[in-house]
Each structure stands twice: as C-alpha cells, then as structure tokens.
C-alpha cells in the first residue's frame, strides 16, 4: 500500500511540476521560461517534501504532547512502533473536539503524529 501511495505522490508532483514548467514557458515566451519554470518547480517540490510535516501541524495548530500528559497513549504507540519496526513518532495534540488521528513526515525518522 505504501508503494502505491508513493507512486501517486510522485505522479502528482510530476504533473504539478509540468504545469509550473509550462507556465514559465508561457509567461516568458521562450526557452529561458522553461528553465525558470524548472527551477521553481524543483524548489517548490523539494519544499513540499521537506516541510510537509510542519505545514500539516501548523494548519491544525498541533502542539507537542509530553509523555506525562498521557502515558497510556505513549505506551501504546511505542508497542505499535516496535511491532512495525519504526522509530517512535513525536506525538502532537490538535485542539479540536472531533476525534481525528493522522501521521505526517517525510520518512520514519521524521514522523509526527497528531
């Protein structure tokens, strides 16, 4: 399943990069516009990949959770992480009344879980 999601993400980023490159060409009107578009697409794709966890946490106003606040949750997450063979994620709390859970991060070593 993770492979399918990574492929979908790659295709979406490739499509959006193509649109940005085309926009650069159309705005400048020559080959130099392609290079500007390519540079902007590369920077924006890298930024989206590298900062996606921070953007998601900021959008939900998530705050880091100390272990003392909910030790049972931390114990459960540690057991699940150990079983999955991944590092423990940093846990965050989203100030909302509706129940919700998601994980974000560019790889298991940079995982965040509100």
Do residues 111 and 90 lie in contact, with contact meaning Cβ atoms separated by under 8 Å? yes
In terms of Cα–Cα distance, which of 78, 62, 61 is closest to 70? Answer: 78
Are 109 and 97 in a shared domain?
yes
> Domain check: are 91 and 70 in the same one?
yes
The pLDDT assigned to 60 comes to 86
Model pLDDT for residues 72-95, shown as the tens digit of each residue:
989 998 999 899 888 888 888 888
Domain enclosing residue 33, as ranges:
2-59
Whether residues 100 and 78 share a domain: the answer is yes
Structure token pair of residue 24: 């650069």
Q: Which positions ≥6 away from 91 have C-beta within 8 Å?
A: 64, 65, 73, 74, 77, 113, 114
- Percent pLDDT > 90 in the chain is 33
Note the pLDDT tens digit of each residue in 15-31: 999 999 999 999 998 99
Is pTM beyond 0.75? Reply is: no
Quote the DSSP letter at residue 36: H
Q: Indicate if 52 and 68 belong to the same structural domain.
A: no
In the predicted structure, residue 59 carries a pLDDT above the cut 80:
yes
């Amino acid at each position: 399943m993770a492979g399918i999601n990574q492929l979908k993400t790659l295709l979406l980023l490739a499509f959006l990069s193509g649109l940005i490159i085309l926009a650069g060409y159309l705005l400048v009107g020559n080959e130099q516009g392609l290079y500007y578009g390519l540079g902007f697409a590369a920077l924006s794709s890298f930024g989206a990949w590298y900062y996606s966890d921070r953007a998601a946490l900021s959008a939900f106003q998530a705050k880091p959770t100390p272990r003392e606040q909910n030790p049972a949750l931390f114990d459960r997450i540690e057991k699940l992480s150990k079983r999955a063979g991944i590092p423990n994620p940093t846990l965050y709390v989203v100030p909302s009344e509706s129940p919700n859970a998601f994980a974000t991060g560019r790889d298991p070593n940079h995982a965040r879980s509100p």
